[in-house]
Amino acid sequence: MSPLTLKLSKVSRPSGQWRDDDYDVIFKGAVVGRVFLSPAEPQDRQWMWIQNRTPTHGYEPTRETAMAAFA
């Protein structure tokens, strides 16, 4: 099984303006979702994750826990 990896959105999607805390989630070379900091959320769950294949999303306190929830 291929691991999930993060790639800065400004690198994988150079056509837009992306923040330094916005990542694409890559699986087997394809973008399968996003993990990004959402400052409008409460401080204990500012990292949002979104899966592309389903309308699944959630909020976590750290980028690492967001990736674990994404998986």
- 47: tokens are 């990292």
| Mean pLDDT for the stretch of residues 21-31 | 93
Edge-first strand order for the sheet with 57-60 is 5-8, 22-27, 30-37, 47-51, 57-60
| Confidence check: pLDDT of 1 > 60 | no
67: nearest Cα among 54, 48, 42: 48
pLDDT of residue 20: 87
Tell me the C-alpha distance between 3 and 21, whole Å.
Answer: 20
Residue 46 is classified by DSSP as -
Q: Which domain holds residue 32?
A: 5-70
- 6: tokens are 């993060």
Count of structural domains within the chain: 1
